[in-house]
Amino acid sequence: MVNFYERVLLNPSYYRQFNCSDSLITVFNCPLEARLMKSRFADLWTHYNYLFYVIDGRKIWHTAHQAYDIGKETCVFVRKGAWIFENFLDNGFCVVLFFIPDDFICKTLKARSRPLQTTTRHIPPVMILDKSDTLSAFFLSISSYFSEAHEPDSSLLELKFKELILTIAGNPNNAELVSYFCSLLDEPQHVSLQRVMDENYCFNLKLEEYAQLSNRSLSTFKRDFQKVYKTAPGKWLLEQRLNHAVRLLRERHKTISEATFESGFESVSHFSRSFKERFGVTPSAFRQEGSLHS
């Protein structure tokens, strides 16, 4: 899978961007962004959370459990992890985009005069934010930077990132996001590991990338995974992906190639071989049998 953060970082000619340590603010230009989209679906991941405001255009975010149709004048927070973009190739997607690491969020929130109060434990991977007057004014102030020839000082950019986090955290209508922020500050390590795996098992990520998402080294990730799940990561991932493929074939009537892609397998041949070893029939025979009983 392609790392979304690195892809944006390595294409300054397509996106004007300002850097503040590992945090990154950038703006997509619609026609140029459209040129990078070679197919309708693209599988991406990032080890950083990101927030964006849609100026124009539309995309659909497909996560492991839900699809999110995002359009014009929407402000969205996406937690670090993997997803499938559904692109609409006849138009671009204009956004102001912020990549924000966990550490920066925690450091900013710890400086608040009052601690955050969580009201919900439901934390979806994609969250639509409340468009308050304060947030609208923030994006208006940011837009002026992109119209100027010189780049703002990094210390000023850091203040703007902090302003953004504190603004959205201070809005009680962003309860889901506040819960996520609280989880970054207080959640036990084994719970955060489970969240990463439960939400991203069906994507074709390497073990090193799962470790990065859970803020661990590869060796620590493997050791902690064994403690939590009582099995090796590779074995657990294969079982979860095969069970997900069964649901796609049986309940959503996906094709073999669609089930392969959406379950995180590298190829149809690998998927078919693993499926037959686990269930005793090929995916095509299973799919045909399901259609006969429907």
Quick check: 292 pLDDT over 60?
Answer: no
What is the C-alpha to C-alpha distance for residues 248 and 287, in angstroms, rounded to an integer?
A: 10
Q: Identify the band that residue 291 occupies on the pLDDT scale cut at 50, 70 and 90.
A: very low
Domains of the chain: total: 2
Q: Mean per-residue pLDDT for 52-73?
A: 89
In which element (H, E) is residue 69 found?
Answer: strand 67-70
pLDDT at 114: 87
Q: Are residues 181 and 94 in the same domain?
A: yes
Helix (H, G, I), strand (E, B) or coil at 125: coil
Do the beta carbons of residue 55 and residue 72 sit within 8 Å? yes
Do the beta carbons of residue 45 and residue 1 sit within 8 Å? yes
What percent of the chain lies above the pLDDT cut of 90?
A: 55
| CATH number, domain containing residue 261 | 1.10.10.60
Q: Is 187 left (phi over 0), alpha (psi -120 to 50) or beta?
A: beta
Residue 112, φ and ψ in degrees, nearest 5: -60, 145
pLDDT at 191: 82
- 1-43 confidence digits (pLDDT tens): 889 888 888 776 666 788 887 777 776 555 555 455 567 788 8
Query: What residue type is assigned to position 54 of the chain?
Result: V
What is the C-alpha to C-alpha distance for residues 198 and 192, in angstroms, rounded to an integer?
A: 10
7: containing domain: 2-186
What is the C-alpha to C-alpha distance for residues 154 and 116, in angstroms, rounded to an integer?
A: 27
Which of the listed residues 121, 156, 186 is the one where a domain comes to its end?
Answer: 186
Q: Are residues 294 and 211 in the same domain?
A: yes
pLDDT at 70: 94
Quick check: 106 pLDDT over 90?
Answer: yes
- 162-200 confidence digits (pLDDT tens): 999 999 999 999 999 999 999 998 888 888 899 999 999
pLDDT at 294: 41
Please, what is the average pLDDT of the chain? 87
β-strand partners of 15? 28
Q: Identify the band that residue 90 occupies on the pLDDT scale cut at 50, 70 and 90.
A: low
pLDDT at 8: 82
Longest CA–CA span in the chain (Å) reads 65
Q: Are residues 180 and 104 in the same domain?
A: yes
What is the C-alpha to C-alpha distance for residues 100 and 86, in angstroms, rounded to an integer?
A: 23
First to last CA, the chain: 34
- 122-158 confidence digits (pLDDT tens): 789 999 999 899 998 898 888 888 777 788 888 888 8
